[in-house]
Amino acid sequence: MKLERIEIEKRIIVSLNGIKNSRKSLNELNTILSEYNVPFGIIESINSNAYVITELELPVLIGISIALYDLTKDNDLHTESLFGDREIRDALDILNSTLSEKIYLPLPFSDVIKIKDDSYVTKISVKQLVKMFESQLIIYDYEAQRGANYKVNKSGGIVKTPVLNKASVKRIAGKMSTNDYFEDMITFNVYSTEIEPLTFHEEQKTLIINNGSIISIVDGFHRLQGAVAALHLNPNLELDLILSIRSYDQPTAQKFFGQLNTINVLNKVRRNELSQVRMSDKVVSNLQRKSEFGKRIVSSTKINELNGDLTTFDILSYAIDKLFKIEKQFDVLQTADYLDNFFVYLLGTYSLEFSQRTKESTGILINHPLMFIGYTVIAKYMQDNKVALSEIKDMINKIDFEDENLKTLLNEKGIAGNSRVRNSIVEYFESLFRGVK
């Protein structure tokens, strides 16, 4: 590559942002992508979650850049200025070599039982399942799944990868390859914001996944990976799995995944997040979808400095549940809107301290994950007392970050704390602002 991969990814995302609201441009891009044998469902995935681009194989990344340049003539995406001649040639060879082996949408399924308008059941062979995966028809939806791990790639960029239990995959592959695996269920969620994702023919009992749909695997990712490995061990493997096909929007898919019981059980924090048991969970989920701050709320019990994480879903939801009165959806929206604005002011006022380069930040405690309990106390105080958000610096200046009591609270039980520690942090900040005008 003639530029760092992270810079190329940024240019592609900027270009996609320029056309993502134009159906005509997206249709034209899809046509060009098909000529280069790049699944256009990837584009919708990137538009929904920019981190997807960090996971793409180099040939696919090159194919997207070529297609975008063909469409937009954007000089920032001039292919020869981004990639070497050998890289481009090898990428096109790889993309073209899979042309005859890949399968494409629309994709029909027979002998389908309709449960409801958004729920169907049928069967799928392991070979068909793996072929769909290798044809890049199946994606892993991080927002509706177990979360993500992060690692640094060779170019220094941050790569998002699925949470995967390799030992479990190995066990599944071994049993499948020796025909010692009892068929169980794989669940797809098929969705689109542009077209009707599914067509069901009642009389023929045929379900069609329509062209332009996105297929995410909601349950069974370990089994899918096990099936891929099993076919390498035993190419003649004959095994059918039960296939559940749902058509849910993302919030519903998250709740559904939170309900499922799987072999690799979710940790309690992530399960509660997806199930959205508390109304405050809905507020944080809303922040994650709509705000820049929300992208830095991590769905796990610990943060990742490489990814610029600031706090966890559970910490923030706990604080909101403790401090805000939320009884109905209207309260959810109002609270989310206020907190969105509050954190815009907070992170903007202290941009260095909350920089994604957290290791280089000047603050020691200011960006501690549990501090966001304190910031939520301040947000509630400012809302109740009609303090303008522009005065947020005056509020933060009242905090003594060298106070040993505060240091002890933030570091006593790790970055997530426990209920006692969290309650003590709430009390600490409430007492700090009690009587303040």
Average pLDDT of 223-232? 88
User: In this structure, are residues 427 and 382 in contact, taking their beta carbons and an 8 Å threshold?
Assistant: no
Give the contacts of 261 (CB within 8 A, at least 6 positions apart). Answer: none
C-alpha distances (whole Å) from 193 to each of 45, 47, 107, 197 are 11, 11, 18, 9
Over the Cα atoms of the chain, what is R_g?
A: 24
Per-residue pLDDT, 397: 92
Is the model's pLDDT at 149 over the cut of 60? no
Cis ω for the linkage preceding 106 (within 30 of 0): yes
User: In this structure, are residues 65 and 24 in contact, taking their beta carbons and an 8 Å threshold?
Assistant: no
What does DSSP assign to residue 164?
-
Q: Which residue is it, tokens 């096990």?
A: 226
What does DSSP assign to residue 360?
G
Task: Please compute, for residue 63, the number of CA atoms within 13 A of its CA located in the half-sphere on the CB side.
Answer: 26
Residue 290 binned pLDDT confidence (cut-offs 50, 70, 90): confident
Which pLDDT tens digit goes with each residue over 88-124? 988 888 777 654 467 888 999 999 999 988 999 999 9
Task: Please compute, for residue 162, the number of CA atoms within 13 A of its CA located in the half-sphere on the CB side.
Answer: 18
Q: Give the span between the Cα atoms of 292 and 50, in whole angstroms.
A: 12
Question: Higher pLDDT residue, 186 or 274?
Answer: 186
Token pair in block for residue 176: 């499948």
Is the model's pLDDT at 144 over the cut of 50? no
Q: Which residue is it, tokens 């059980």?
A: 265
Q: Give the span between the Cα atoms of 220 and 189, in whole angstroms.
A: 12
Q: Please indicate, yes or no, whether the overall pTM of this predicted structure exceeds 0.95.
A: no
Q: Give the span between the Cα atoms of 15 and 104, in whole angstroms.
A: 26
235 burial level (CB within 10 Å; 0-12, 13-18, 19+): exposed
Give the distance, in angstroms, between the CA of residue 352 and the centroid of all CA atoms in the same chain: 26
Residue 335 binned pLDDT confidence (cut-offs 50, 70, 90): very high
Residue 234 binned pLDDT confidence (cut-offs 50, 70, 90): confident
Token pair in block for residue 54: 């960090």
Average pLDDT of 224-229? 89
Is the model's pLDDT at 223 over the cut of 50? yes
Phi, psi of 219 (to 5 degrees): -145, 130
Per-residue pLDDT, 40: 56
Which pLDDT tens digit goes with each residue over 342-400? 999 999 999 888 875 544 444 568 889 999 999 999 999 999 999 999 999 999 999 99
Per-residue pLDDT, 42: 73
Per-residue pLDDT, 272: 57
For the chain, what is the total number of helices (H) and then of strands (E)? 18, 13
Give the amino acid at 163.
V
218-227, 228-237, 251-260: lowest mean pLDDT where?
A: 251-260
Task: Please compute, for residue 18, the number of CA atoms within 13 A of its CA located in the half-sphere on the CB side.
Answer: 13
Is the model's pLDDT at 425 over the cut of 90? yes
Give the contacts of 390 (CB within 8 A, at least 6 positions apart). Answer: 345
Per-residue pLDDT, 380: 95
Other C-beta atoms lying within 10 Å of the C-beta of residue 270 = 20
Token pair in block for residue 244: 């559940």
Q: Give the span between the Cα atoms of 375 and 370, in whole angstroms.
A: 9
Token pair in block for residue 241: 């799995």
Give the amino acid at 57.
E
**pLDDT, mean over the chain:** 82
